[in-house]
């Protein structure tokens, strides 16, 4: 099977790329070449936004599957349809589980949960992409599959403040400094390791039954935010000193102090419970099984950060935000 990943070296996609190669898939990566290469893939260097150069590079290629890991707007979808309408048997769009209804009416999320998020532009753009793709599928026969990852980690720390590509909160924990958790920390959340996500995703590649369908691929493990931070601290070898602050106050204070807005990702996503029914992906990919609990996966992530000092980013702006929040509301 000949597969093209646009991107393919990110937090989620790198794990999928490595697993695809291990399964014998003939994998090509199209990207700018700014990150470390992945052994066993064929590399094509260009910026997908440079349509003329991309067309020239891909002019003679035919694909069983094209996956775009870095499509965020309807313009991206329009460009990809122009590029791949006649050259792939399947086009997979990476959407986002943040597109699901906020605030949720039902705390159990299925693929039929409405897509509406008035709080986060990122999510609204993903919804618009999905709507355009379904239109192209129905009217033009474009063979699309939609995948909605939720909070998936591998080379990022999956928390609300001082994580993701930062090491700030782990640093604070190791120094015995307090960290902030939104609300009372009891809302339920789902974290998925990228290697587990990859097991489900690989089963959709070339799967003719997945054409015209949408899926989320998540862990079945459910944790409260208190448990997430406590588990992170345990993986770092310390105990968490948690300060609870209302979500609204966090968002307002971040906006007031000029810190990057937390309104979309926190108020419009992580402040709500997120529990996923994975029945559909298990029906389409019977071999899909989650095997990495957060308590083990986050240890791997911390080791990855600590393997190279340049990865251990301590963001002073985040430190100041957390200290300011605690000073006022802690």
Cβ atoms of residues 253 and 325 within 8 Å: yes
Sign of the CA dihedral with 230 first, then 293, 304, and 156 last: negative
> What is the arithmetic mean of pLDDT over 26-51?
92
| Residues 305, 307: Cα–Cα separation, whole Å | 6
* C-alpha dihedral (194, 19, 143, 91), degrees to nearest 10: 70
Q: In the chain, which residues fall in CATH 3.90.25? A: 156-190+220-275+292-329
What is the distance between the alpha carbons of residues 48 and 34, in angstroms, rounded to a whole number? 13
Write down the pLDDT at residue 201: 98
Query: What is the percent of the chain where pLDDT is above 90?
Result: 96
Measure CA 276 to chain center: 15
Residue intervals in the chain for CATH 3.40.50.720: 2-152+192-217
154: pLDDT strictly greater than 90: yes
pLDDT reported for residue 309: 97
Instruction: Specify the pLDDT at position 174.
Output: 98
Report d(CA 223, CA 274) in Å as an integer.
Answer: 10
SS3 of residue 93 by DSSP: strand
Q: Contact, 32 vs 47, CB < 8 A?
A: yes
Q: In this predicted structure, what is the pLDDT of residue 33?
A: 85
Return the biggest CA–CA distance within the chain: 61
List residues bridging with 88 in a β-sheet.
63
pLDDT higher than 90, residue 179: yes
pLDDT in tens, 263-322: 999 999 999 999 999 999 999 999 999 999 999 999 999 999 999 999 999 999 999 999
Helix, strand, coil percentages (3-state) for the chain, rounded to 5, are 40, 20, 40
Query: In terms of C-beta density within 10 A (0-12 exposed, 13-18 middle, 19 or more buried), how is residue 199 classed?
Result: buried
Average confidence (pLDDT) over 140-157: 98
Q: What are phi and psi of 153, to 5 degrees?
A: -125, 160
Spatial separation of the C-alpha atoms in residues 299 and 235, rounded to whole Å: 5
CA 316, CA 137: separation in Å to the nearest integer? 47
Reduced to 3 states (helix: H, G, I; strand: E, B; else coil), residue 60 is coil
Sign of CA dihedral 276, 71, 118, 138: negative
Q: Dihedral through CA 134, CA 139, CA 145, CA 149, nearest 10?
A: -20
CA distance 204 to 207: 5
Q: How confident is the model at residue 107 (pLDDT cuts 50, 70, 90)?
A: confident
Residue 34 has pLDDT above 90, yes or no: no
Residue 285, helix vs strand vs coil: coil
Quick one: 292 exposed, middle or buried, by C-beta within 10 A (0-12, 13-18, 19+)? buried
Across the chain, what does the average pLDDT equal? 96
The pLDDT score that the predictor gives to residue 37 is 81
Bridge partners of 180?
A: 243
Helix (H, G, I), strand (E, B) or coil at 258: coil
pLDDT value at residue 35: 82
Buried b (16+ CB within 10 A) or exposed e, 79-110: bbbebbeeebebbbbbbbbbbbebeeeeeebe
- pLDDT on residue 125: 98
Distance, in Å, from the CA atom of 146 to the CA atom of 150, rounded to the nearest integer, reads: 13
The architecture CATH gives domain 156-190+220-275+292-329: Alpha-Beta Complex (3.90)
Per CATH, which fold does 2-152+192-217 belong to?
Answer: Rossmann fold (3.40.50)
pLDDT band, very low/low/confident/very high, at 232 (cuts 50, 70, 90): very high
């Amino acid at each position: 099977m000949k597969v093209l990943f646009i991107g393919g070296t990110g937090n989620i996609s790198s794990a999928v790329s490595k697993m695809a190669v291990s399964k014998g898939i003939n994998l090509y990566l199209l990207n700018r070449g700014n990150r470390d290469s992945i052994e066993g893939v064929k590399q094509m260097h260009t910026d997908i936004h440079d349509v003329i150069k991309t067309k020239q590079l891909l002019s003679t290629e035919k694909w069983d599957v094209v996956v775009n890991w870095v499509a965020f707007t309807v313009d991206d979808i329009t460009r990809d349809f122009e590029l791949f309408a006649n050259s792939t048997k399947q086009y997979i769009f990476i959407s986002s589980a943040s597109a699901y209804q906020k605030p949720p009416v039902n705390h159990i999320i299925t693929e039929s949960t409405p897509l509406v998020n008035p709080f986060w532009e990122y999510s609204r753009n993903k919804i618009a992409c999905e709507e355009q793709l379904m239109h192209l599928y129905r009217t033009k026969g474009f063979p699309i599959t939609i995948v909605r990852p939720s909070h998936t980690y591998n080379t990022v720390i999956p928390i609300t403040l001082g994580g993701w590509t930062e090491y700030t909160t782990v640093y604070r924990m190791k120094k015995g400094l307090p960290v902030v958790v939104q609300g009372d920390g009891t809302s339920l959340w789902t974290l998925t390791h990228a290697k587990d996500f990859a097991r489900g995703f690989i089963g959709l590649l070339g799967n003719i039954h997945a054409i015209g369908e949408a899926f989320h691929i998540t862990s079945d493990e459910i944790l409260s935010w208190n448990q997430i931070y406590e588990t992170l601290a345990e993986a770092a070898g310390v105990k968490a000193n948690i300060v609870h602050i209302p979500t609204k106050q966090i968002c307002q204070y971040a906006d007031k102090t000029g810190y990057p807005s937390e309104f979309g990702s926190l108020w419009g996503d992580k402040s709500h419970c997120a529990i996923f029914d994975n029945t559909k992906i298990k029906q389409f990919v019977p071999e899909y099984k989650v095997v990495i609990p957060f308590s083990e996966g986050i240890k791997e992530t911390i080791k990855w950060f600590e393997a190279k000092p340049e990865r251990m980013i301590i963001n002073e702006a985040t430190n100041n935000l957390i200290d300011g929040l605690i000073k006022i509301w802690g």
